[in-house]
Amino acid sequence: MKLKPVPAVQIWSAVPTPLTPDFRVDEPSVERMVHDALRDGIKGLFLAGTCGEGPWLPDRERRRLAQAAVKAAGGRLKIAVQVSDNSVPRILDNARAAAEAGANYAIIAAPATFMNATPERIVALFTEAAEASPLPVGIYDLGRHRPVMIPEARLKEIYLLPKVQLAKDSSGSPERRAIALAARAEKPGLQLFNGDEFHCLDYLEAGYDGCLFGGAASVAPQLNRIVALFQAGKRDEARAVEAETKKVLFGIYGGESIACWLTGLKYYMVRRGLFTTATSFLGYPLTDECKAFIERYAASAPAA
């Protein structure tokens, strides 16, 4: 009997950006973060996303971040950089800077603000930017988590654009997931990544190629275990590991309310010896409960 092939699965990390107290990119910390990702078997890094504070970074600092990560990676993993902005010329300026830094992909999300956001104008923004991008393109789909989104009726055509090679689906929408899978059926080279750290296994079972989210930097060993169990057909065991992984993420993030979120994640990176500060533009608090959990969890993790 011919055995069904085991699906290949990749874990990527949408990494936080290490910052100095004066909000500049901390390049030695970037190098440590990249080397840690390599040790953890991470296949790609997504820089300057939501977790990476890309919309808040000055252009010069985003360039420094990309250059430092590319240099540290040395071609051993893929580097994707968010280039999202409020107009096609600005997106393309960002994409050219990412290309000059040596990145592999330009990632485009819906802009946080966009005037006269008709469906046609939103689709035109993505289409024109993707067609003119100097790099292969990834689509970062936040669905209804953003006030501006690609309409479901037009999402498939965006995924089928020639330069679009991957999707980070953080929409949490079964309908948008189905559209992504339908696009991949027509375009087998399209890589689909789940961006929801709390439902990785659901997307792998649906047929996605891997997971790509911000918490991966803190739970890479658990994610590798989930993937190994999934590939071995041990779904119940994989579910059990995923349940434990959620508890870790909620502990770092400050519970289901995500009260500490990015500060908690950066503090974990500090306690691992990867970052020197938990500085961020977003100012989330670090509660005593969150800090105590991170101290316990970091103490159990292997040293960086």
Token pair in block for residue 185? 């059926």
- Cα(136)–Cα(133) distance, integer angstroms: 7
Q: What is the pLDDT of residues 16-44, one digit of tens each?
A: 999 999 999 999 999 999 999 999 999 99
Nearby residues of 243 by Cβ (< 8 Å), 6 or more positions away: none
Which residues share a beta bridge with 193? 168, 210
Burial (CB < 10 A; 0-12, 13-18, 19+), residue 264, is buried
What is the mean predicted confidence (pLDDT) over 216-238?
96
Euclidean distance between CA atoms 66 and 80, whole angstroms: 9
Instruction: State the average pLDDT for the chain.
Output: 95
The domain limits of the chain are 10-234
We find that the CATH architecture of domain 10-234 is Alpha-Beta Barrel (3.20)
pLDDT of residue 1: 37
Task: Give yes or no for residue 304 having a pLDDT over 70.
Answer: no
Decide: helix, strand or coil at residue 115: coil
pLDDT tens, 93-131?
999 999 999 999 999 999 988 999 999 999 999 999 999
| Residue 302, pLDDT score | 60
Angle at CA of residue 132, ends 180 and 90, nearest 5°: 95
Sorting pLDDT into bands at 50, 70 and 90, what band is 76? Answer: very high
Residue 3 has pLDDT above 80, yes or no: no
106 Cα distance to chain centroid: 12
pLDDT average, residue stretch 185-201: 96
Question: Given CA atoms 88, 69, 301, 285 in this order, what sign does their dihedral have?
Answer: negative
